[in-house]
A and B are shown apart, each in its own frame.
Chain A
Amino acid sequence: MFGTVNNYLSGVLHAAQDYDGEALGTHLSLRDVHVQNHNLYIAQPEKLVDRFLKPPLDEVVSAHLKVLYHLAQEPPGYMEAYTQQAAACGAVVRLLQQLKDENWCLPLMYRVCLDLRYLAQACEKHCRGFTPGHVLEKAADCMMACFRVCAADGRASEEDTKRLGMMNLVNQLFKIYFRINKLHLCKPLIRAIDNCVFKDSFPLPEQITYKYFVGRRAMFDSNYQAAVQDLSYAFSNCPDRFASNKRLILIYLVPVKMLLGYLPRKSLLQRYDLLLFHDLALALKAGNVNRFDEIVRDQELVLIRSGIYLLVEKLKFIVYRNLFKKVFAIRQTHQLDMGDFLSALQFVGLADVSLDETHCIVANLIYEGKIKGYISHAHNKLVVSKQNPFPSIST
């Protein structure tokens, strides 16, 4: 591709003259074929580049060529490449500021920010000598600079405003913040999108990613209704050909729905290779606390890595509820002995549970509205309501 540097640079120049943001983005992408062209690996390209391009675009391109140079070294200089990419990002910010009332260069910004994140991830993986997450955090700072320029572009008309670039950047920032476990930083971004007048005119793929992350965050804040809404939107709008993305969404959607009382269909789980949830659902349905704990213990790493460990642990009280409902079904009376609940817990294999704890668990279920009734401590009995003593969780 391009052959000589001069060809490459004139290609960049044409793209800029034609206001072709997409082409410009491709010319500066690290995933384009031109990165295999050895003629472009230049340690000090400034003079060459200056002959073709005006600032600040020349800085973007110079930095890009330096990135290629550092990545071509043996072993690859990820840290140096990252630093150059950050410089490119800074130059893009200046370019954006310069181009008032124009937004054709947004694709360039997307590309540079995306590569910045990839390089930061590579640094985290291959380089040592800094706090984990540090480089990613720095990368997020660079992207925030872009974001601020975009968000502040309020005067341009709807077609030309750089605010259309906000969601893409927000999604990139989400990816970083989720990776480095700094979810509190998402809040101002979400607010910025919510307050955006044309929040519905962002492209659908970006909306899907956005809803996926916003849903996960809501889940993290124990805001389950909102989480289901956002994740369902993402799942139903994500085209079927992106099966792995749909699977990712389901990993969060399924347990949140379980928490709200909806069990997943086996066929769905089978299709996305998520039968783990089927096992959990069976244990949950049976009220088998011990089996439930066992699955969580066995699958601990999987659950932790996908970030749903804590959520799944929260299902535990539903398991208790289902177990106690079975006690009620067997006894067929509205005055249930607390000892029976203790026996049930011991029957499913909990060894270290006491009558005191049984009282506390039942008390909690009553408090949460999962059982209707009251406990008589003197008689050691749970008196349940004549009507619907175990209301369905999903209502």
Chain B
Amino acid sequence: MAQVRGSCESFCPDGEAKMRVREKLLNYFELKNGQKNTPGVLVKEFTRSAADAKMPLPKEMRTEAALTKTVEYLLKDIILDTRKPYNLAYDFIFDRLRAVRREMVIQMYDARQKIRLLGPIVMFLAYSRYRLCEESIEKFDPKICNQHLQECVTGVLCSYDELDGQESSKESTIRELERRCFIECLYQVFNLGSPESLMRALTLPDYVRQDPMFKLCFGICLAFQQGNLYRVLMGFPQLPHILCAVAATKLQGIRRSLLKVFTHAYNNKQLTVPVPYLLRLLLIDSPAGLQDQCRHYNIALTVDRKAVHFNKTDFNDDAELLKPQQERFVESKLKRIYLPEVLLLKKLN
């Protein structure tokens, strides 16, 4: 099959732009200053490949430079746009990035090109997964976000494997190596304790395995696999920004497991366990947070609410996992970064 190359140098091919302006199919973020019907910057929409659709012409597809610029525009200008709630910006960016991914596939980009474009998309999805974790299902579907994140991150990893298979891979710059380590870390934390990800971690090239951040991530995953949840929980706050955010989406499951372990270990009618100790171990920052957990899993508090009665028969095994929430230790980290810089993998620490 002949390789198709796009020739469009803007965010949105002319044909689509004209059609969407004419038909008034503009997204809020594509209107000039939010005014009705005044077109601003348009970005190519995602459309499915369908049997009746013709193969796109070169002018209907963007060049690599244009795709890179599109990603940069979305993850810089749009993501910092605070006029609308973030979930709307997310929907817009998600769709437009999906169009970028589709063009990348049609144009059959090589490993290096894929890594450059997919890396920021992975970062965006990971960040959004955390940022929107408290939203209701109508506003944000975590399952779809997870699916796409998994797909994109494995896409990047496969590309890295491909580069490993080529001799030219030694020419990578330090920045590129750093990026790889970060994405490998993200994959590990996102797939915490899965046999496949652990196996992958064991067979990575040495420079990744020796990377301090990767060692930390792998240590956490290994501790999780062994059942040493203490090490997992103490490791989380040491992770940098986005990794910490991804870890936070796993936190409720780990808290539940540890509480369940405690209901067996501290199981006694007379004895109690003090709240501060539990707050520390479970990474919960207020007694109210712990009370929520206790209520949810049917764990009794003492009358003065300063201690907890653990009883293994009372523990509500059927209670659904609590929704992930924004955690203070993550928020403080995210406050300190300039988001576009991190999402575009320009600066990682």
Shortest distance in angstroms between A107's beta carbon and chain B's nearest beta carbon?
A: 35
Known interface pairs A310-B195, A313-B222, A377-B272; A363-B264 also in contact (CB < 8 Å) = yes
Q: Does any Cβ of A come within 8 Å of B349's Cβ?
A: no
| Nearest residue, chain A, Cβ from B165 | A132
User: CA A378 – CA B231 in complex, angstroms?
Assistant: 23
Interface contact B265-A317, CB-CB below 8 Å: no
Shortest distance in angstroms between B105's beta carbon and chain A's nearest beta carbon?
A: 15
Residues of chain B within 8 A of A31, CB atoms compared: none
Q: Does any Cβ of B come within 8 Å of A278's Cβ?
A: no
Q: Does any Cβ of A come within 8 Å of B172's Cβ?
A: no
> Of A221, A307, A357, which contacts B230 at CB under 8 A?
A357
Q: Does any Cβ of A come within 8 Å of B252's Cβ?
A: no
Known interface pairs A362-B265, A363-B265, A375-B266; A181-B199 also in contact (CB < 8 Å) = yes
| Nearest residue, chain A, Cβ from B195 | A220
Interface contact A131-B165, CB-CB below 8 Å: yes
Q: Does any Cβ of B come within 8 Å of A148's Cβ?
A: no
- Interface 9-mer from B24-32, B145-153, B273-281: B273-281
Q: Does any Cβ of A come within 8 Å of B229's Cβ?
A: yes
User: CA A377 – CA B265 in complex, angstroms?
Assistant: 10
Interface contact A131-B162, CB-CB below 8 Å: yes
| Nearest residue, chain B, Cβ from A181 | B199
Residues of chain B within 8 A of A129, CB atoms compared: 165-166
Interface contact B162-A317, CB-CB below 8 Å: no
User: CA A360 – CA B161 in complex, angstroms?
Assistant: 38
User: CA A375 – CA B258 in complex, angstroms?
Assistant: 15
Q: Does any Cβ of B come within 8 Å of A262's Cβ?
A: no
Residues of chain B within 8 A of A378, CB atoms compared: 271-272
Interface contact B280-A130, CB-CB below 8 Å: no
User: CA A130 – CA B164 in complex, angstroms?
Assistant: 10
Interface contact B196-A181, CB-CB below 8 Å: yes
User: In the complex, which residues 153-183 of chain B have their Cβ closer than 8 Å to any Cβ of chain A?
Assistant: 158, 161-162, 164-167
Q: Does any Cβ of B come within 8 Å of A94's Cβ?
A: no
Q: Does any Cβ of B come within 8 Å of A4's Cβ?
A: no
Known interface pairs A128-B167, A366-B264, A377-B271; A361-B277 also in contact (CB < 8 Å) = no
Interface contact A132-B161, CB-CB below 8 Å: yes
Interface contact B229-A360, CB-CB below 8 Å: yes
Interface contact A367-B166, CB-CB below 8 Å: no
Residues of chain A within 8 A of B200, CB atoms compared: 181
User: CA A357 – CA B280 in complex, angstroms?
Assistant: 12
Q: Does any Cβ of A come within 8 Å of B50's Cβ?
A: no
Interface contact A374-B158, CB-CB below 8 Å: no
> Of B164, B231, B265, B281, which contacts A375 at CB under 8 A?
B265
Interface contact A367-B165, CB-CB below 8 Å: no
Residues of chain B within 8 A of A364, CB atoms compared: 227-229, 261, 265
Residues of chain B within 8 A of A356, CB atoms compared: 230, 277, 280-281
Shortest distance in angstroms between A369's beta carbon and chain B's nearest beta carbon?
A: 9
Shortest distance in angstroms between B77's beta carbon and chain A's nearest beta carbon?
A: 35
Interface contact A304-B230, CB-CB below 8 Å: no
Interface contact A363-B266, CB-CB below 8 Å: yes
Residues of chain B within 8 A of A309, CB atoms compared: 202
Q: Does any Cβ of B come within 8 Å of A314's Cβ?
A: yes
| Nearest residue, chain B, Cβ from A368 | B227
User: CA A291 – CA B165 in complex, angstroms?
Assistant: 37
Please encode chain B, from 121 to 164, with 1 for each CB lying within 8 Å of some chain A CB and 0 for all others. 00000000000000000000000000000000000001001101
Residues of chain B within 8 A of A376, CB atoms compared: 268, 271
Residues of chain A within 8 A of B166, CB atoms compared: 128-129
Please encode chain B, from 186 to 203, with 1 for each CB lying within 8 Å of some chain A CB and 0 for all others. 000000000110111011
| Nearest residue, chain B, Cβ from A130 | B165
Q: Does any Cβ of B come within 8 Å of A199's Cβ?
A: no
Q: Does any Cβ of A come within 8 Å of B267's Cβ?
A: yes
User: CA A374 – CA B198 in complex, angstroms?
Assistant: 33
| Nearest residue, chain A, Cβ from B231 | A357
Interface contact B226-A317, CB-CB below 8 Å: yes
Main secondary structure of the interface of B (DSSP, over half): helix
Main secondary structure of the interface of A (DSSP, over half): helix
User: In the complex, which residues 243-281 of chain B have their Cβ closer than 8 Å to any Cβ of chain A?
Assistant: 258, 260-262, 264-268, 271-274, 277, 280-281
Shortest distance in angstroms between A360's beta carbon and chain B's nearest beta carbon?
A: 4
Q: Does any Cβ of A come within 8 Å of B326's Cβ?
A: no
Shortest distance in angstroms between A26's beta carbon and chain B's nearest beta carbon?
A: 35
User: CA A106 – CA B227 in complex, angstroms?
Assistant: 47
User: CA A356 – CA B161 in complex, angstroms?
Assistant: 40
Known interface pairs A130-B162, A131-B161, A132-B165; A377-B230 also in contact (CB < 8 Å) = no
Residues of chain A within 8 A of B228, CB atoms compared: 316, 357, 360-361, 364
Known interface pairs A310-B198, A356-B280, A374-B268; A367-B203 also in contact (CB < 8 Å) = no
User: CA A130 – CA B222 in complex, angstroms?
Assistant: 31
User: In the complex, which residues 78-127 of chain B have their Cβ closer than 8 Å to any Cβ of chain A?
Assistant: none
| Nearest residue, chain B, Cβ from A378 | B271
Q: Does any Cβ of A come within 8 Å of B225's Cβ?
A: yes
Interface contact B225-A310, CB-CB below 8 Å: yes
Residues of chain A within 8 A of B262, CB atoms compared: 363
| Nearest residue, chain B, Cβ from A320 | B228
Shortest distance in angstroms between A306's beta carbon and chain B's nearest beta carbon?
A: 11
User: CA A284 – CA B229 in complex, angstroms?
Assistant: 21
Please encode chain A, from 236 to 277, with 1 for each CB lying within 8 Å of some chain B CB and 0 for all others. 000000000000000000000000000000000000000000
Please encode chain A, from 300 to 312, with 1 for each CB lying within 8 Å of some chain B CB and 0 for all others. 0000100101100
Residues of chain A within 8 A of B196, CB atoms compared: 181, 183
Interface contact B162-A377, CB-CB below 8 Å: no
Interface contact B277-A377, CB-CB below 8 Å: yes
Residues of chain B within 8 A of A314, CB atoms compared: 225-226
Interface contact B261-A367, CB-CB below 8 Å: yes
Interface contact A366-B265, CB-CB below 8 Å: yes
User: CA A181 – CA B199 in complex, angstroms?
Assistant: 8
Residues of chain A within 8 A of B281, CB atoms compared: 356, 360
Residues of chain A within 8 A of B199, CB atoms compared: 181, 307, 310
| Nearest residue, chain A, Cβ from B203 | A304
Residues of chain B within 8 A of A133, CB atoms compared: 161
Known interface pairs A309-B202, A313-B225, A356-B281; A377-B273 also in contact (CB < 8 Å) = yes
User: CA A374 – CA B272 in complex, angstroms?
Assistant: 12
Residues of chain A within 8 A of B226, CB atoms compared: 313-314, 316-317
User: CA A356 – CA B279 in complex, angstroms?
Assistant: 12
Shortest distance in angstroms between A128's beta carbon and chain B's nearest beta carbon?
A: 6
Interface contact B271-A317, CB-CB below 8 Å: no
User: CA A216 – CA B202 in complex, angstroms?
Assistant: 18
8 tightest Cβ-Cβ pairs between the two chains A and B: A363-B265, A360-B230, A367-B261, A366-B265, A367-B264, A131-B162, A377-B273, A304-B202
Can you offer 6 A-B residue contacts whose CB atoms are under 8 A? A309-B202, A356-B277, A356-B280, A360-B281, A376-B271, A377-B274
